[in-house]
Structure 1
Amino acid sequence: MSHLTGKAAAGLMAAGLFATAAVTPVQAQTPPPTYRVVPAPAAQPPAQITLRPDQAELLRRTLDEAALHGFEPGEFTPRGDSDAALVEATLRYAKAVKTGRLDTANFREDWGLRPTPFDARGAMARAVADDRLEDWLKSLPPPYPGYETLQMGLANYRAMAERGGWKTLPEGDKLEVGAAGPAVDALRARLAAEDPTTPAQLPRNPAGQSVFDVQLADALKRAQKRMGLQPDGALGPATRAALNVSVQRRIDQIVANMERWRWLPSAMPANRVQVNVAAGVLTLFQNDVPTLSMRAVTGKPGGGETPLLSSEINSIVLNPPWNVPAGIAARELFPKGQAYLNANNFRVIDGRLQQRPGPGSALGLVKFDFPNNYAVYLHDTPSKGGFTRYTRLASHGCVRLEKPFALARAIMAGDPEWTPERIDEVVAGGKTTRATVANPVSVYLLYWTAYVTPDGQVNFRQDPYGWDALLIQRIAEQRGPTA
């Protein structure tokens, strides 16, 4: 019998099988070694959790306040009066507030951020035994200001809903400073429903009609900024549509974003790049402080969505060529003809279309690589005009950056080889060069359509991919018809 290769032996070890004696060529004529099967550890019975009366009361209070985390009132009501029923309800709550309500089997494929598995029963049993149940319960929600401020925003919008929300603005002509009539009153009332600093009264014209003045325009600009729209102080179609989003839809957006916060790890690296795909903004954090921000163009809806993921930027490519995905080449480039391809420095290599590096390349002059299953990356672009738009959803899934060289210099700061001068020199030389990042920087592609700014205002963005609505729908479907 021939001796086992290292790979085969490793396979047996991984399977829980191992030889009682080594096998070498000298032993080829000896009886074959024997193997023994190592049984898998016996399944442990579920941890028994016995509560003191004060602990049971703490759990009841916690479940009564579950709505503060975006859950439906009574969603975790115990199914019975026993302590066992209370424990089971708490375990369902703990998992929901820690890792989210949606099973990962019901995630979209491009929701690449997945919550860390969580043994709620074991963790709760230890907390009860160690008499630190209250601390454990407080540790469950995401420990981020972004989540905590959304909790406050949720309370505000639920209060608005209890007051009746707001009325839909009727269709009509554009409204701007100087307009008068009932439509101006309707606009003032709509803005006041969310913004208490909206003027309580408007000036009136000789006919007794309310007049659209500068103060109302300022209130409208504040609303437009909160919704990611051009703050021109005029009520046009896009602003009217955003203001006509119902209060319940806004509540759903907040709840969906709180859910996505639970998909993140319990601690994020102090040095990281975050991209808000929905808002089209990249932020670099260093020592947990935002030090650089820029606009970004992200994936367009309908097949070009930028996925959610976390990874690490491990290299930067200077003067990158663009290896065109086959689908894009077939749909968008080959139909334009050979003359177009020649004029834009495209060539076919081994049956694949490639654009040569250079200032006119779709990837611009710098690309940031990070391992992922979606073949996406951050990159420069020769098309700078896209950054001036307030809605920046135009790519095929990758993220185009407004200030890529500022990001490259920041990531390479302190690297004696890749100084700013060296980066500029290599780019000027035109040769494709990969610069390894000595200390890889974490990168997160996120989808925030509701978040709170330092002034305490909840900002909303469109749900460009429909992922808020889909998430709320799938949670409801998973809960079943009795939800």
Structure 2
Amino acid sequence: MGSGVRARRWLNGIVVATFLAGGVPASMAQAQTGQVTAFRVAVAESVAEHDEIATFYRARNFEPLWTGAGPEHLARREALLEAIGTARTHGLPAGRYDIPKLIAGMRAARSDQARGALDVELSRVFVQFAHDLESGVLTPGRVLGDIKREPVRRHAAELLSALETGAPRAVLRGLAPRTQEYARLMRAKMELERALARGGWGAEVGGGTLSPGDSGERVVALRNRLIAMGYLERTARATYDDRVGTAVRLFQADHGLEADGVAGQSTLDALNVSAEARLQSVVVAMERERWLSSAGDMGARHIKVNLTEFSARIYDDEKVTFETRAVIGATSPDRRTPEFSDEMDHMVINPSWYVPRSIIRNEYLPQLQRNPYAVSHLQIIDSRGRVVNRARGFGSNFPYSMRQPPGPNNALGKVKFMFPNKYNIYLHDTPAKHLFAHDVRAYSHGCIRLNEPFEFAYTLLAAQEADPEGFFHARLRTGAEARVNLETPVPVHLIYRTAYTQAKGNVQYRADIYGRDGRIWAALEDAGVVLGVGES
């Protein structure tokens, strides 16, 4: 049986059932059935494969939303065409919405049947565009398993109902993320498109390190690229002078490099990244912002860890109130820190470290099988909480847990910050302080280590303690493990942005340390996203 026949029977059945339920004679019901319009039948046929859209049309008795003769229908059509005309501005796959096809359909829709099919098609395109703009083009977990986000997509009937009752242009304008970050990323995208329209940033700078006092063609190439990027005023000088050195330091700061004013290999590598590649990073960041913002408000107070930046920050009302360096998971596939959001509800002062099973299995058990007294700083605990006698040795069956008691050399340091999650990720102190001196800080098994954990704790406790520092150290001095609950849980967002903005200053760029953004860009390209050149 074809979908059209099924749709007609379904729609006719609704009418018949309605009349019979009201006690109307069957003959009248049959007469009413015969009056079902071609428009409604066409709508019923067209929504057969779109359950959510069908829910909306059933609730409105299959009346038109877009193709009626009234001014409100015209306003919706015009607003939709205007909105999807901005798709590339938002880094969306414009081909998904096919404006020429829609316009051709509007011109050709002269019969009731054609108008019914067109009405559903306009609704389908609107819902697709709304989902893409509000929640993202991609489903994150299908691109990369380490991205644990599930963007919130509104039900099609809810979106269509908002359009039915609201001002069309206002409804469509309200779909994009309303965050300052998204607005600034859009501006950065436009600036990069203009740079590409001008031919990019010029020739790459070849060779090795350039230092203050150098001169020659390579310095000219460095100077010209810094000018094109906006870090240096126009000059004809061919010497690496103070102005070039200042520009290099600014560039280094914006790219997470040591701002020493010397153009070493890391600086030259970052400097030679093309405007096109930077534009890809910005478009990916916009997609990521859609994923994040679809879940709702970040929280008046929240914690954000940008993995590519190796930093952790506490925000209060969008302002950074504390920040510190961080160490993240190493780059091997089994150690990379995942991306997700959760709520921090307590900290543990003088924590024990309970060794994850993966570390026991992959690292410690092979050592214990060779020498049962290895890793002696760890206790081996049975299911009843008793310390196991190591003299008996260990085989492949290891039904025990491992624990490092509180102490100065504990792997978690002197405090950990818990936002309980199934990935066993948390923030913590570390005795390995030397790692924070590195520019690239990817060394952990996945958890986030903080350079200034005490100060991080004071900032969190300030919301509930008159003397947060005194409160913290009173418990620290006991040496005993102590749980401290946060009276108001704090949202934690582990994010990954190779391009991000700040309220003042230039766009910040970081290396794609886990290769995630490259995968996302490839998926966006597959979905039909293309880079615009000078479209703004």
Indicate the TM-score class for this superposition, using the shorter chain for normalisation. 0.7 to 0.9
Residue pair 1:225, 1:231 contacting (<8 A) in 2 also: yes
2:258 is the alignment partner of 1:230: yes
1:476 shift after superposition = 3.2
- Which residue in 1 is equivalent to 2:144? 108
1:45-444 equivalences in 2 (<5 Å): 45-47=55-57, 48-50=64-66, 52-72=73-93, 74-78=95-99, 79-81=101-103, 82=105, 84=118, 85-104=121-140, 106-119=142-155, 121-195=156-230, 197-203=231-237, 210-264=238-292, 265-303=295-333, 304-333=335-364, 341-342=375-376, 345-350=377-382, 351-415=400-464, 419-444=468-493
1:404-441 deviation digits (Å, cap 9, x = unpaired): 12222222235469953232122111111212222211
Residue pair 1:202, 1:213 contacting (<8 A) in 2 also: no
Residue pair 2:123, 2:160 contacting (<8 A) in 1 also: no
Residue pair 1:202, 1:211 contacting (<8 A) in 2 also: no
1:300 shift after superposition = 1.7
Structure 2 CA distance for partners of 1:237 and 1:340, relative to 1, 3 Å: farther
Residue pair 2:66, 2:74 contacting (<8 A) in 1 also: no
Where structure 2 has 5 or more consecutive residues not aligned to the other structure, the ranges are 1-50, 58-63, 68-72, 107-117, 383-399, 530-536
CA distance in 2, matches of 1:453, 1:104: 25
Residue pair 1:270, 1:288 contacting (<8 A) in 2 also: yes
Structure 2 CA distance for partners of 1:192 and 1:72, relative to 1, 3 Å: farther
Residue pair 1:60, 1:86 contacting (<8 A) in 2 also: no
Counterpart AA for 1:80: L
- Which residue in 2 is equivalent to 1:449? 498
Structure 2 CA distance for partners of 1:113 and 1:103, relative to 1, 3 Å: closer
Structure 2 CA distance for partners of 1:118 and 1:61, relative to 1, 3 Å: same
1:108 shift after superposition = 2.4
Counterpart AA for 2:330: K
Q: Which has the higher contact order (CA 8 A, sep 6+)?
A: 2
CA RMSD of aligned residues (A): 2.5
Give the share of equivalent positions with the same residue, in percent: 30
CA distance in 2, matches of 1:335, 1:455: 52
1:386 shift after superposition = 1.9
Counterpart AA for 1:466: G
Matched position secondary structure for 2:207: coil
- Which residue in 2 is equivalent to 1:10? none
CA distance in 1, matches of 2:478, 2:141: 49
Where structure 1 has 5 or more consecutive residues not aligned to the other structure, the ranges are 1-41, 204-209
Larger Rg: 2
Q: Hey, which of these two has a bigger chunk of helix by percent?
A: 2
1:332 shift after superposition = 4.2
Residue pair 2:141, 2:149 contacting (<8 A) in 1 also: no
- Which residue in 1 is equivalent to 2:14? none
CA distance in 2, matches of 1:91, 1:372: 33
CA distance in 2, matches of 1:198, 1:333: 54
Aligned length: 430
1:477 shift after superposition = 3.4
1:76 shift after superposition = 2.6
Q: TM-score, normalised by structure 1?
A: 0.83
CA distance in 2, matches of 1:211, 1:317: 55
1:38-74 deviation digits (Å, cap 9, x = unpaired): xxxx985443522522331222111111222112555
1:108-138 deviation digits (Å, cap 9, x = unpaired): 232112211212x323422332242222112
Matched position secondary structure for 2:299: coil
CA distance in 1, matches of 2:227, 2:95: 32
1:469-480 equivalences in 2 (<5 Å): 469-478=518-527
CA distance in 1, matches of 2:229, 2:210: 19
CA distance in 1, matches of 2:87, 2:311: 32
Q: Which piece of structure 1 moves more, 232-241 or 385-394?
A: 385-394
Q: Which piece of structure 1 moves more, 110-119 or 79-88?
A: 79-88
Matched position secondary structure for 1:306: coil
1:334 shift after superposition = 5.7
CA distance in 1, matches of 2:345, 2:275: 43
CA distance in 2, matches of 1:73, 1:125: 20
CA distance in 2, matches of 1:331, 1:124: 49
Residue pair 1:143, 1:266 contacting (<8 A) in 2 also: no
1:242 shift after superposition = 1.1
